[in-house]
Chains A and B, each alone.
Chain A
């Protein structure tokens, strides 16, 4: 029995908790991509850089607050700087829309051209970030690092396996729940949200019923800015901030959005968790788990690992390809907000 509890704790510690927090970050990112896709109808390659930009502004203000000795006690100072980062990200989104994307929207360009344009925007934001903050790895989490340490847990319960709970993971999960609830409430209950859904469903019909497209687009960029900045900051808080990581993060985010059904917000969230869990589960070595569960005579000798951790990244794409082959519209039928 003890062995069974131990094995469960093991999974909880190494798969479920990291999976949920990584999945939350992906879900927020994928939700942003999905919003752009559903309303503006293009694949936004710049999304990773927008996330990175938000995280960068948050870091800059975190440093400022730290130098002024303003803090939140046990919570990381970054939470205090997050609202400023969000505002800056929204401004960035709206500027990029006004100066770049708007023109092509009015021209009714094909989605591929807009995707190319977003690559240009990606390069520009990428350069701005590197010029301002460089390419070094930055750790900016402060306050209390762990809510529950592995050692404490072992002492408390007397089990062999420890369970560590990082505060950044708990913060990630809480903020994600908060933000998702708000987004879905906004989409379902408010008038603006309903007009956005109408716009994404049938643009011409929405225009005929007097919905102002500029307003819808404006609101979309605000939501995208909030989601991107929060996702970027949470990822940086949980792992560490490095500009290049966000470029690599674009691919799992796209994978999440497409797997869930691009254009469907609920699908994006589910896709985020699907990708995160499969990345972690496929590359985890289950040896210890089986050692606890099986009698010692048939214990596995190898690591019992499906794929080495080097291929973490490839997993999300294999899933993407499989989903596109079997069910091209994603798990939840996409294209409608």
Chain B
């Protein structure tokens, strides 16, 4: 098992203390909400860190892979809608089969027709007419599906399985998309690759936004089932009431009046049920995070991890040593994307709803990258730390800014235009903080807060 250095223990302690601090100042509920998002961010960051930190493969498509994970959560957990399947299932099936036939035909042509010009002409002809035919079936089918009860359904629904399975499926979805992207784009130079992955992630999100038969598009999917109990069930469960009573027995015993006591107990139960739910989420997420952390570390220390570092540090030399650079790049890109996909499914599980229009590159790609850079690329603990610290400051930036502005403008009247304007724009200061943090880290600690350990052997 790995050993932590002293400063790494320090980082872990700081993280824990931050949450305890927020718990006392702003309440445990707030603290747990932030903690849950921090854990998910940390998983996303580990995903990016694996491809960037281990192998130097840039992945700016985080947003798209998260969205694929989110789609998985919908498709796994939403109950199937029989009417929609009835209305458009056959049409979709036919168009899918035709698509497969088209792909096979193109592959066959590429293999058999040798003359380049003929190949291009044949290919474009087949693709053009193939798409015309497929469109006919496809548009009819999707139209029918979207007409089924559009106010609450209008899409195919999912499988109706427990949502927790979707975490794995989300990883598979994201990995599958990453495989296709990697096949197409991985030969490019790193800054081209950044732009291309960024663009493809936009395409993925716009498909999810507009293919309503699949994901309900901008109409959003709400009311996904939870893997943890609902508050209202907890409040009526005997064991939970007993638990709350037991935990707060000293406090309750001090209240003599029976109706007062019942009142206090009810409030405690309502608060407690919220905290219990968030705590259960936190435990589930923490388990996933630790599993991924364990395997990521194992992989990094294994011969495979050494090979990845070799490829990152000197591609030509690694190639000369007989390592298949292209294949390894593809593998690590897919693994990184799959982990991001897991985080995407967890994100939708936590929210209980899927909103394709909510996926924006600033929030879901660039912030994640700031986490990676700040935490320290190539170090998994650094990635987790970066995820925690950056998400924490992203959330706590608003109250902090309000406090600072109030202190700075304490001499001004409360109706002063400048002061009001500044207080109105408090939410935007977080972008300023993020940018400054990134710039400062890149300047003064370019390897991140917890840098990669250089191992000499």
Contact = CB atoms under 8 A, between A and B. Distances in A.
Interface of A: 42-43, 100, 103, 111-113, 115-117, 119-128, 130-131, 134-135, 247, 251, 254-255, 258, 308, 310-311, 313-314, 316-318, 320-321, 324-325, 328
Nearest to B211: A310
23 contacts: A112-B191, A113-B442, A113-B446, A115-B191, A121-B439, A123-B431, A123-B432, A123-B435, A126-B431, A126-B435, A130-B425, A131-B429, A134-B424, A247-B361, A251-B199, A254-B199, A310-B209, A314-B207, A320-B196, A320-B199, A321-B184, A321-B200, A324-B196
B185 interface: yes
Contacts of B364: none
Contacts of B435: 120-127
Given A42-B191, A111-B191, A120 B199 contact: no
B276 interface: no
Given A43-B194, A314-B203, A321 B185 contact: yes
A202 B199 CA distance: 31
A325 B196 CA distance: 11
Contacts of B424: 134
Given A123-B434, A124-B432, A126-B435, A112 B58 contact: yes
B192 A258 contact: yes
Contacts of A103: 443
B97 to A, nearest CB: 23
Nearest to A316: B199
Interface in B419-434: 422, 424-425, 428-432, 434
Nearest to B207: A314
Contacts of B428: 127, 130-131, 135
Given A124-B435, A128-B432, A311-B210, A321 B373 contact: no
Interface in B198-234: 198-200, 202-203, 206-207, 209-210
A117 B425 CA distance: 25
Interface in B368-383: 369-370, 373
Contacts of A113: 442, 446
A131 B206 CA distance: 29
Given A120-B435, A130-B431, A255-B195, 15 more contacts: A112-B58, A112-B194, A115-B191, A117-B442, A119-B438, A122-B435, A126-B435, A127-B435, A130-B428, A131-B422, A131-B429, A134-B424, A251-B199, A314-B202, A321-B200
Interface string B296-318: 00000000000000000000000
A131 B184 contact: no
B366 interface: yes
B125 interface: no
A113 B446 CA distance: 9
A43 B366 CA distance: 15
Contact of A258 (B195, B369, B425, B434): B195
A113 B194 CA distance: 12
A318 B442 contact: no
B434 A317 contact: no
Contact of B210 (A120, A130, A308): A308
B432 A318 contact: no
Contacts of A321: 184-185, 196, 199-200
B118 interface: no
Contacts of B280: none
Contacts of A317: 196, 199-200, 202-203
A220 to B, nearest CB: 18
Contacts of B429: 127, 131
Nearest to A126: B431
A324 B193 CA distance: 10
Given A127-B432, A311-B210, A251 B202 contact: yes
B188 interface: yes
Contact of A124 (B198, B366, B436): B436
B362 interface: yes
Contact of B439 (A117, A251, A324): A117
Contacts of B369: 116, 119
A113 B56 CA distance: 12
A334 to B, nearest CB: 11
B185 A116 contact: no
Nearest to A262: B192
Nearest to A328: B188
B437 to A, nearest CB: 8
Nearest to A320: B199
A283 B54 CA distance: 41
Given A42-B191, A111-B190, A113-B446, A123 B206 contact: no
Max chain B Cβ within 10 angstroms of own Cβ: one of A116, A124, A135, A311: A116
A62 B373 CA distance: 40
Max chain B Cβ within 10 angstroms of own Cβ: one of A316, A317, A325: A317
A93 to B, nearest CB: 16
B432 A313 contact: no
A328 B191 CA distance: 13
B438 A310 contact: no
A134 B425 contact: yes
B397 to A, nearest CB: 10
User: Which 7 A-B residue pairs are closest in the complex by CB-CB distance?
Assistant: A123-B435, A127-B432, A124-B435, A127-B431, A317-B199, A130-B428, A120-B438
